[in-house]
Amino acid sequence: MYKVTNVYTICAFAAIGGGLFGFDISSMSGVLGTKAYQRYFDNPLGYRQGGITCAMPAGSFLGALVSSFIADRYSRKVSIQIACVIWVIGAIIQTACNGVGSLVAGRVIAGISVGITSSIVPVYQSEISPKEIRGRIVSLQQWAITWGILIQYFIQYGASFTGGGPKNPNQGTAAFRIPWGVQMVPAIILFCGLFFFPKSPRWLASKDCWEEAVRVLADLHANGDTNHPKVLAEYQEIEEAIRFDREEAASSFAQLTEPRILKRVVLGMSIQMWSQLCGMNIMNPSEIFPSKVRAKAVSLATASNWAWNCALAFAVPPLLRNINWKMYMIFGSFNGAALIHMFLTAPETKGRTLEEMDEVFDSGIPAWRKVPVASRLDRLQKDIEIGNLKIVAPTSSSSPAAAADHTTAVAHSEPLSDQKI
């Protein structure tokens, strides 16, 4: 089967998962003012409308929590495809709803899908992309969210003119059923398209699929050359990280409470919290966690996002009605607090590989000080290029266990001049 190998194409397409997020965020806004919605759902206001609105982030909170189990078991790619199926089910229920109860149920189910994609898409992107462009790649998720919001608004605007227009007291339900039904289209496209995309090389390595992992790395970063120094260096780094994790023999949620990991979990959850309390979610974690707990830690961080999103979705409508413009002063204060918190606790991760995040966070250097960017991967690649180090990638004849044993053997390779070739 044909496989897409361009990193930008892969990560941009995966970001359609963010588009689903954007679609759902704005799926209510454009229909609230139509007579069809007001009449059919008995003109919900205040906390009743807040409950309908927060049903989606409530489901997303649950989806974010379960995402790590799906992603670690079935792969990042397959978990996104599972989320697409859940999204279609939720969209069908919303489109066919006959009252507030079924609408809320559909939004909760769709929210579970959004919780999964909002957790796993950034993980998939960060594990696919090279360190030099990881920041811009992961930001595609947020870019897709805003596109989803924009496209859904235009769909809602067009649908609002059906049945005599938004002010017609007898306007038909197509005004809100069309936008909710169209939501299925990007999910179907994403589900089908992902069959042509690779699995995360780091997930493959964690399952001892070394040959496939190296082949994916080669396709992504070296035009298919499995012996390219960059591929061999990255293979070496991933193998060492996985071997270290296995020696510690821990990858459960309990390990998230260890001091050196806990501070990163708190940072990730705080970033997601501030992204909601600032009034507009614009920030994503996915690169700061070690591979052994990455999916679990990101799921907790994203769950934090959705917990605060749910709280705001429920509280903002009555706040806006009761204190009006003063509500924005609250968000302004949150932005100021976020600035101080991030300055003191969030170190720079640019130019570092995912396997080097332990060094970044355990260096003891305060977050506000600039850390010299001297990537271990670059040094390793240079040693391979000039012949000081020989790394041999696993071959098709190697079993996963043999590949792991072989990798362990070369992990402490001597200079090439001392080796037998």
What digits encode the pLDDT tens for the residues 147-192? Answer: 998 999 999 999 989 988 888 889 999 999 999 999 999 999 999 9
pLDDT band of 13, cuts 50, 70, 90:
very high
Residue-wise DSSP of 363-397: S---TTSPPP---HHHHHHHHHHHTS-------TT
- Between these two residues, 284 and 354, which has the higher pLDDT value? 354
> Within a 10 A sphere around the Cβ of 2, how many other Cβ atoms?
6
Are 225 and 238 contacting, i.e. CB atoms less than 8 angstroms apart? no
- Between these two residues, 119 and 248, which has the higher pLDDT value? 119
The end-to-end CA distance of the chain, in Å, is 36
pLDDT at 298: 77
Average per-residue pLDDT in the chain?
Answer: 82
- Between these two residues, 118 and 316, which has the higher pLDDT value? 118
Provide the residue ranges of all domains of the chain, joining segments of one domain with +: 7-199+250-345
Q: Does the domain made of 7-199+250-345 have the CATH classification 1.20.1250.20?
A: yes
pLDDT in tens, 322-348: 888 888 888 889 889 989 988 988 888
pLDDT of 288 over the 60 cut: no
Please give the average per-residue pLDDT across 358-378, as a whole number: 77
pLDDT of 272 over the 80 cut: no
Q: How crowded is the C-beta side of 72, counted as CA atoms within 13 Å?
A: 17
pLDDT in tens, 127-153: 898 888 888 888 888 888 889 989 999
396: its two tokens: 């098709």
- Between these two residues, 112 and 265, which has the higher pLDDT value? 112
Its pTM stands at 0.78
pLDDT of 414 over the 60 cut: no
Give the angle 97-86-65 at the CA atoms, nearest 5°: 115
